[in-house]
Structure 1
């Protein structure tokens, strides 16, 4: 999901929110010598602005969440308006800017992607920087009924508090693998592999046919190869339990070693430019026909070029697994804005839940003839009870994700360090993280 872009504009939000003006009392004299007559007070209210920063997809030029913003501004015209600053940044750049904006007190009223930064998310909760949303959701029966119970549960903290406005369904929060049916056919492969043994055999057969199996990128948190490696780790009960752990105490165990070994193996089957590059590069490698598979989520459906829609398919990871953590899609409301702004922000979050629910209902009641093949594949996969594996970025410490992986993954891929040494370096990140808390 990561995209290359340019620096964020450094604008301060002056005056957080617009408040209703005071009532104006007009006095008029009817004529000389006549008694004074007081007119009724006239209230003049101004539209409340809700600052928010959203990204532009550099691959397609599409403004992310533009439908939501346009719908909200139309519905609440004259009362609330979402004041969007559209930026062309990678998601990693956006997340890092959240930290800067928090320090400089320039956060917009609504922030996204917060759950992708576990330690930062916990910090802003402890510092009282974001709103606890139970008062909005629990007291609004209509809003609460829109949210799948399992999704709502994933958003709750241990004490039951909620700090992120939930999406409605996990149906669009899942990642698997997009694959090129035409390239598979050239290698004599008729369908996507159903087991991990078949997956590695598929990679071998593609490579033997002169086709690069995987389009990967590693910039940021090595998200793309880690999708495959963590899905594979969940093949055992021990691995499934490991993927449920929040801030694992060690990676020097069977599951951590298995992830490292899979990561090392993946880089035998990808492009030469996979290291140190962002999604734009892997996207181009896949949609130029240079690679046969790319791991990503449902959100890439809108990024499939029209001329590629008939040849691109979607599949769950082998053993019918999807990576999914719906809480990573939650949006937060910054606490130090006015009540008028926060109420409008809550209305925006509720509308987002509603549109997500309507999207699911529309898509799941449609026919495959109305969809592109990859979309029809996705719906079919989701309907057949896939095992949902948590996204590692919700569980692992930020030092490991944002610093350590970028430093040690190239050495692992090139064979300069062993998988055992890789897990030892991961454990060192745990100690560093604890020391910085």
Structure 2
């Protein structure tokens, strides 16, 4: 998933850090703060984070800087910045778990559903409800829907949540200049209008879509699953955890939509990851790319006047705030885990500050895409679950990258595509 773990903007660091400092002085950062390291040496909190390959930005650098300034002399987030894709990061989590080299704080765990539940069963990640629910200040920062998304059926919490779902939604970024060249004045509101829009763009020599097939096929799958959810049956299908078959009307609908989407994309869309799609969009080679709010900070300055944001047709956004939750590895000392919990709380607070600041700003101080996003979010869109937290890992990490190019090239039919998806289910079950 090309979320690139959305960055907290620098202009919120000072407010978040200062306000939290007063809270720490009054009551301690977490609900069960200890005095184990009082007067002792500074405690290191090992973390691994990604350098965004599209922009060169260090993801989450702002929250790390704020934490290290706030807790200087007590805790320090010791970050290893790695230049790798999100898919590589996630696969490395599995390797590091086997070799017992996981950092104290891990991200993206909920993007790997089977691995996430294995980590819980094996006692490898910390149960956080004692930290969060015993801390009234922390609880007040979290929207109920976000806390619910990060909680298990028994009320346990293994993911330190962000504050709001407002920044976890995905829709479509589009190039207003290219739309205007094709005589299209507004973004299509229905799926029928969307396909007509693609045809009109293409007839004017403009490639409609920036897509890819690697890394769980994030971009095309956003389109296809949003379209499937436009029917009652499809909406129910998108709610299913680990579907037991894709050989049904909803599964076929997704496959047929994927097949159709690749008729409107660039010639280099196969066997590449999202970074190629990103480059194709921001070089003007394609008119639309799906992604979430987190891409606002990745819009080049010279593009900010021409990039717009819209919900998927029929006013749908894809959102799963649990995928932004961070986990704490249980094998570390209590001192390290206390510091890691403080880092998670600061991240929640900075997310809350970001939401408040953004929503209170004058529209004139925002980019056009930000204004579009706020208007879309406030319009009460239908939220569709992210397929990446619902479907088995074999399908996402291995099968899609093989069968989607074949589907796009007409080497297999939608029916054959869904059959191969079902084969991944059996393979997944055999591995469990």
TM-score, with structure 2 as normaliser: 0.91
Could you say what secondary structure the match of 1:213 adopts? coil
Question: What's 2:87 paired with?
Answer: 92
Question: What's 2:372 paired with?
Answer: 377
CA distance in 2, matches of 1:304, 1:393: 24
Could you say what secondary structure the match of 1:291 adopts? coil
Could you say what secondary structure the match of 2:309 adopts? strand
* 2:237 corresponds to which of 239, 242, 246: 242
CA contact (8 A) 2:3 2:292 kept: no
Question: What's 1:233 paired with?
Answer: 228
Question: What's 1:215 paired with?
Answer: 210
Deviations 1:19-69 (A, max 9, x none): 979xxxxxxxxxxxxxxxxxxxxx951000000001111222211111100
CA contact (8 A) 1:56 1:62 kept: yes
Could you say what secondary structure the match of 2:178 adopts? helix
CA distance in 2, matches of 1:128, 1:247: 23
Q: Does 1:395 align with 2:410?
A: no
CA contact (8 A) 2:36 2:335 kept: no
TM-score, with structure 1 as normaliser: 0.90
* 1:279 corresponds to which of 255, 274, 277: 274
Deviations 1:175-196 (A, max 9, x none): 0000000000000000000000
* 2:251 corresponds to which of 256, 263, 267: 256
Relative to structure 1, is the Cα distance of residues 136 and 44 closer, same or farther in structure 2, using a 3 angstrom cutoff?
closer
Question: What's 2:180 paired with?
Answer: 185
Q: Does 1:413 align with 2:408?
A: yes
CA distance in 2, matches of 1:2, 1:317: 17
Relative to structure 1, is the Cα distance of residues 62 and 272 closer, same or farther in structure 2, using a 3 angstrom cutoff?
same
CA contact (8 A) 2:3 2:294 kept: no
* 2:399 corresponds to which of 404, 428, 431: 404
Could you say what secondary structure the match of 2:215 adopts? coil
Relative to structure 1, is the Cα distance of residues 283 and 215 closer, same or farther in structure 2, using a 3 angstrom cutoff?
same
Unaligned runs of 5+ residues in structure 1 are 5-18, 22-42
Larger radius of gyration: 1
Deviations 1:323-350 (A, max 9, x none): 1000000000000000000000000000
CA distance in 2, matches of 1:130, 1:3: 23
Deviations 1:82-106 (A, max 9, x none): 0000111100010000011000000
CA distance in 2, matches of 1:224, 1:3: 11
Question: What's 2:357 paired with?
Answer: 362
Could you say what secondary structure the match of 2:332 adopts? coil
Q: Does 1:57 align with 2:68?
A: no
Structure with a larger share of its residues in helix: 2
Matches within 5 A, 1:3-402: 45-402=40-397
CA contact (8 A) 2:213 2:405 kept: no
CA contact (8 A) 2:3 2:295 kept: no
CA contact (8 A) 1:3 1:278 kept: no
Relative to structure 1, is the Cα distance of residues 281 and 404 closer, same or farther in structure 2, using a 3 angstrom cutoff?
same
CA distance in 2, matches of 1:218, 1:279: 8
CA contact (8 A) 1:171 1:360 kept: yes
Q: CA deviation at 1:2?
A: 3.7
CA distance in 1, matches of 2:266, 2:245: 31
* 2:429 corresponds to which of 424, 428, 434: 434
CA distance in 1, matches of 2:261, 2:61: 36
Using CA pairs under 8 Å that are at least 6 residues apart, name the structure with larger relative contact order, 1 or 2: 2
CA distance in 1, matches of 2:425, 2:224: 20
